[in-house]
Structure 1
């Protein structure tokens, strides 16, 4: 038995050795990986080409540029104000290009242009291997594709990578659609050579005063050198550098066999001689400011039209007719008024600045000034262009401190100078800026829009784009809230004594004054007490109801205008008082038609009732005091506007005289004016010169005198505000409204209101910490005293 058992005993089998993957398996994995990469790349290119990872430009835009029909802008008095048109250019054909211009382009940018199909792998590998030191990897076709994208390339590496993929896709598409000769012609026609020289033909006229076909070899090489850096290699701005880079192009033409040695020697010995003739465009002056806003508004309507109908309309090619509410005469009067006053104001400011070692700044350290300057530098097109070209920061700053030829703004006309871009920025920061908007309160029609003083030098709109501290022009919102929620009348009295809360202090003159005197003389303690009694939340809500969407300071100093608000929103709010308490959204567009006269959009007024007409007229009555005996009266009389002209207005001056405002309403027209400088640290030292009555009001007065004088406008000095039917002029009128409007219940009596620190029942005042703040008692706000 034992032997049998031993015979049946099992032993563990030896472990099998793990076999190595066979060669066939490795081959299979390689093929799978290969196809995965190919499919992945194909999917990526397909996604890019279809716009799944971002919008792609339409290469069809390059075709038939001459068939584009500009859209026209017509004023309310049927005057052609301007057009929306493509940049002025004169396309040339390939046959009109001198052969050496084409040779120079190929030698400098793309030696194998005739051989590839849009993408040159050899150039790409070379650029990767040598980090771009021996030339980039972009072909001429890729560069044309890049020109179809708007704006500079992103500094983000991932976004730049996708941008490059997009360029490759567009380049391949271009190669399929066009011949090599057509691509070269399109490239030269699309290139921007600065100074409004769009395309090679315009560039030839601007820089050398001749047509493209007449260019010499050195001139052609100069333009090709500009392709890599239009600003740095500009023959007008930097002739020495332009010649150096031009000679590099000529050397490449020699090395590639396009020219012989004798031709090369003769060309490099030729100096760069510019016969400069700059082209002025319709985008200069004042018109570009309202067109900047108008273009955005129109595009919104066109986008909505496309969603509704499926039809796409292009503002620059479909010949639309845009009828706007602007009046060409009033627009001209507004522009003239700004120029007339700012010419004098600038002269006075320059006189004061001669004594300022930190011109044009007050109370700033060198590091603060440098910070403002660097912020301005980085906003310039020059900086963005150099950054996009990959220039190091220190080299860019050297470029900005290098003197060059340029034009600078003066009120006597543009001035040709040689100065560094850095000094040019500092110079233009000294130029006073202004914004003006004028509208009909009853309709909301905007009649004049001046967003700045010169678009070419100051491309920033001060009507709707720019937000500035509004100062005492905010006070009417406080007074209106007090009238609506506290039942006050023009005869209600409030203490003008100094106001103190903790360590926060507002200087005052003492005694009690009527609220009409308080607003007329812009007394800060009165406004502060009214805001505290009525509740800052209620003041803010009223401002919102009046169309103010900009952020508003929630602390008590908001009563004195610490918030930044646009002229557009301020004027819309003020117009409500003249429109019987109905807010009407300011509008510039009346109607848009297509080329065949079919209406695309007809804009209807947007109206909202905000307050009873009695409240609204009370505000008009209060603000009439500003013009009759208050902060605006003296300057109005000096400007020849009589005391019997009915004007409801408000002056505003902000901290350190940085902003000067005047909001003025006559029965049929409301107008808002702001004057200041780009930086708030630039201002007049004295409030005597820097207050709103001296900076903003004169523009309003000059403008209105011109409007009054034009009888065709039907706006007269004899016009009177329409009083409500039950208005008698007595202080009891508003008290009678209490029985009819339930939302004003629980109000205090006038005697109770004489206590400036007592809160309104059910309207608690929000406690704020103002321990580090103080407010001056004048129209000027200063939180540092």
Structure 2
């Protein structure tokens, strides 16, 4: 390339050398004409003045012609008047939402009070029926007043309509260009609309403050009546606001609004719409407002609709549609019946938790300055900072705020409001069936399904076990339940714990996930490696949040969204194939023509089928006999389901996700401020989040929206090598005769190399240290469960009731049971017996390493 630079430079130099003489000649040719023009400017002649005067209209006409392409076209104007917002439908045909550009309800002109029409025309455009978009007399008068220093508006109703409909195309600056664009658009509107249509469109699009657009919403907001019920005084008040909504706001500026209203009444007298006697009587009357802000009903799935609006706007922009006026019909994946069940279940159980929270935060130790945590909340407010800036010390500022009851009440509510999120997905096609982002959309529009990122706790553990099964581990493989110390970068030591002491005995992976043992999971994480676990979690659906590949990731230390977790569990329920969650199936126009159809997403293999089925089968034990046993005992769900509970450090976050062949549902419960927590009992995922999912699933099964007879296929197909080996063994047995083989010796098992286990006296608990106990009130009881892990997200006991304590104050020895599914209802299929392996206790005095990949240094 360098060798061409001199050549290019020479060519450019030659080009300029050729152009220079031509430029010189052009300058010499133009010089006399320029000199002559300057001379005429200094010494104007009558002819020159006349030519200049004649040229000005030509220049204006040319300027107008140039601006025409920059104004809305006739087609756009016709489309704007239709004003058909996109309609959002559920999968079963129910209306979920309408995407309106504002808080507006369109009413025909016949349903608008004639007093409003008379007041509008008399005040804003008394020659409305005489002009064709521009009142030239009024425009000229406004121009003269403006030039004399008294600025005056000259826009007609049609021009104002043009400005209201197309603020971006016409502009907002008080310039000549804007006025010309406004006039051009007004001419186009008059060519398309009749005068009655122009009035109707104007009155339905004009803004009136407080998010009220159009005369119907204005009438409701300021006077509590419909547009057809407005009397003369009310119509005059609303018309007076059009000159300046904020300046003549009758709520905060009643004196100005009253004076302006009487001015409108005077205009109605001037143009024959009101008699002098009526004016004399009416002008003395007060405003008499009945003000109330109008809010749009949130609809049955408001958080879902909010996310869908963002997606639909992007789709419409790409395909040249308007979601506010093109009458689009969007068919979504939401099932309105499941949505209603999810909303009811979440609200009911979250309200119960709110009652518990209110009790905990009441009294002297609750929302008072004497509570250290609440005092911290008070110091973080702007009111406290303002008090300090004014010179008050800390104690005086807190005392002053504590005396303000409204401040304390609002701060307490803001910090101690229990929040929750819920999501349900069909794992067979990735369609989202129910989405509840908070307890109440009106009070809390923040979406805890897609926007909130929280630590998932033990609900992250299946990714660790899935990675282990993919590497060759089996549910019967064991680790020693012993103290664990894992060195971290910087010389720190991580010591995950459980809420029961270590037994120093083997525990199978099946039991470890059922009872959510942190020590076993941490050892398995070291064997598999954090990088592999993070990659698997991303492949299965945790694709938007950052996952830190560190040992504590096994217990869910990296914040994620509920949508990601439910999507990942849907992958588990779908034989390890990830499907991107879907919200929309088709988009149609107002006539029913299909504009776009969205097929199911292509499956992406995240986990091998064999490993996924093994993982799914072991997660059945979580609800059969483990930390999620309340699904069976409390809610009586007998369908084939699997799931996982989760609780983070200090009971900050409660999680539960339940998987069925046709529906995966998950819930999160907590507070917006993570420093506020539930107590050790109610804060556990099995008591905070599980009831929401259990209640929802119970309702769905009873309504037969989910088939209780559907079952997971967890039969693991043997590979080619295993098949060949079995055939060879059968052939050898047939050829040489079957020989009795002794039972295999227990393999020698060793703990992972990066886990140190100091000598500890064996605890009196057996290998699994757990059993399922039936407790009055429903939930299963056990002496084991999820426990806190210092320095990381961890979990606590999640079995639905406190542990059984022996007379000596320690949990009594328990024998693991192998429960079968409870008997099905008569209408259901016969109940199969789950494939549950007995805990492997043959290696009670030995250790071994399962056949999984060893971690690399530094993982």
Alignment counterpart, residue 470 of structure 2, candidates 456, 470, 484: 484
Deviations 1:301-337 (A, max 9, x none): 5566x4xxxxx55555555554433333322221221
Residue number in structure 2 paired with 1:63: 81
**Mapped contact 2:82–2:325 kept (Cα < 8 A):** no
Q: Does 1:558 align with 2:553?
A: yes
**Which of the residues 567, 581, 585 maps onto 1:586?**
581
How far the C-alpha of 1:175 sits from its partner, in A, is: 2.4
Q: How many residues align?
A: 647
- Give how far 1:482 is off: 3.1
2:184 aligned residue: 173
Residue 324 of structure 1 aligns with which residue? 332
**Stretch deviating more after TM superposition (318-327 or 692-701):** 318-327
> What is the deviation of 1:664?
1.0
- For 1:653, the equivalent position in structure 2 comes to 647
Q: Which secondary structure state, in structure 1, belongs to the residue aligned with residue 298 of structure 2?
A: coil
SS of residue paired to 1:652: strand
State the match for 1:508 in structure 2: 497
Q: Which residue of 1 aligns with 2:692?
A: 699
Contact 2:424 2:664 in 1 (8 A): yes
Mapped partners of 1:271, 1:447: distance in 2: 53
How far is the alpha carbon of 1:298 from its aligned partner?
4.8
Contact 1:441 1:579 in 2 (8 A): yes
Pick one of 165, 170, 192 that aligns with 1:148.
165
Q: How does 1:294-313 map to 2 (within 5 A)?
A: 294-298=308-312, 306=319
Contact 1:486 1:534 in 2 (8 A): no
Q: 1:257 to 1:721 in 2, by over 3 A?
A: closer
User: Relative to structure 1, is the Cα distance of residues 472 and 278 closer, same or farther in structure 2, using a 3 angstrom cutoff?
Assistant: same
Task: Supply the distance in 1 between the matched residues of 2:81 and 2:198 (Cα, whole angstroms).
Answer: 11
Q: 1:142·1:170 contact (CA, 8 Å) conserved in 2?
A: no
- Relative to structure 1, is the Cα distance of residues 80 and 777 closer, same or farther in structure 2, using a 3 angstrom cutoff? closer
Decide which structure has the larger Cα Rg and report it. Answer: 2
Q: 1:591 to 1:269 in 2, by over 3 A?
A: same
TM, length-normalised to structure 2:
0.62
Counterpart of 1:100? 119
Deviation at residue 698 of structure 1 after TM alignment: 0.9
**Equivalent in 215, 230, 248 of residue 200 of structure 1:** 215
Aligned residue for 1:775, secondary structure, equals coil
Q: CA separation in 2, counterparts of 1:476 and 1:313?
A: 44
What's 2:658 paired with?
664
Q: How does 1:612-651 map to 2 (within 5 A)?
A: 612-633=608-629, 635-636=630-631, 639-641=634-636, 646-651=640-645
Is the Cα–Cα contact under 8 Å of residues 523 and 779 in structure 1 kept in the other structure?
A: no
The yes-or-no answer on 1:364 pairing with 2:357 is no
Any residues of structure 2 matched to 1:399-414 within 5 Å, and which? Answer: none
For residues 566 and 793 of structure 2, the distance between their equivalents in structure 1, rounded to whole angstroms, comes to 26
Q: Partners of 2:219 and 2:204 in 1: how far apart? A: 12
Counterparts in 2 of 1:393-542, with a 5 A limit?
Answer: 427=413, 430-485=416-471, 487=473, 489=475, 491-493=477-479, 495-499=482-486, 501=488, 502-509=491-498, 510=502, 511=504, 513-542=507-536
1:687 and 1:363 mapped to 2: Cα distance? Answer: 23
Of the structure 1 ranges 260-269 and 39-48, higher mean CA displacement relative to structure 2 is found in: 39-48
Residue 754 (str. 1) matches residue 765 (str. 2): no
Q: Can you list the C-alpha shifts for 1:490-522, whole angstroms capped at 9, x where unaligned?
A: 533265535454345434254464433443343
Q: 2:540 aligns with which of 517, 526, 546?
A: 546
Residues 313 and 276 of structure 1: CA distance in aligned 2, closer, same or farther (over 3 Å) = same
Q: What are the within-5 Å matches in structure 2 for residues 205-220 of structure 1?
A: 205=220, 207-210=222-225, 212=227, 215-220=230-235
Q: Classify 1:775/1:544 alpha carbon distance in 2 versus 1 (closer, same or farther; 3 Å).
A: closer
Quote how far apart the aligned CAs of 1:752 are: 5.4
Gaps of 5+ in 2: 1-33, 127-133, 387-404, 726-746, 757-789, 798-859
Deviation of 1:190 after TM superposition, in Å, equals 0.6
Paired residue secondary structure (1:436): strand
- Show CA shifts across 1:256-309 (max 9, x none): 89779997775564333345688775x4243333333344445555566x4xxx
Aligned mate of 1:73, from 89, 113, 128: 89
Sort the Cα spacing of 1:682 and 1:318 in 2 relative to 1 into closer, same or farther, 3 A.
same
Give ranges in structure 1 of 5+ residues lacking alignment: 1-20, 154-158, 307-311, 375-418, 737-748, 759-772, 781-785
Whether 2:362 is the aligned partner of 1:349: answer no
CA contact (8 A) 2:113 2:231 kept: no
1:777 Cα deviation from its structure 2 partner: 5.1
TM normalised by structure 1 equals 0.67
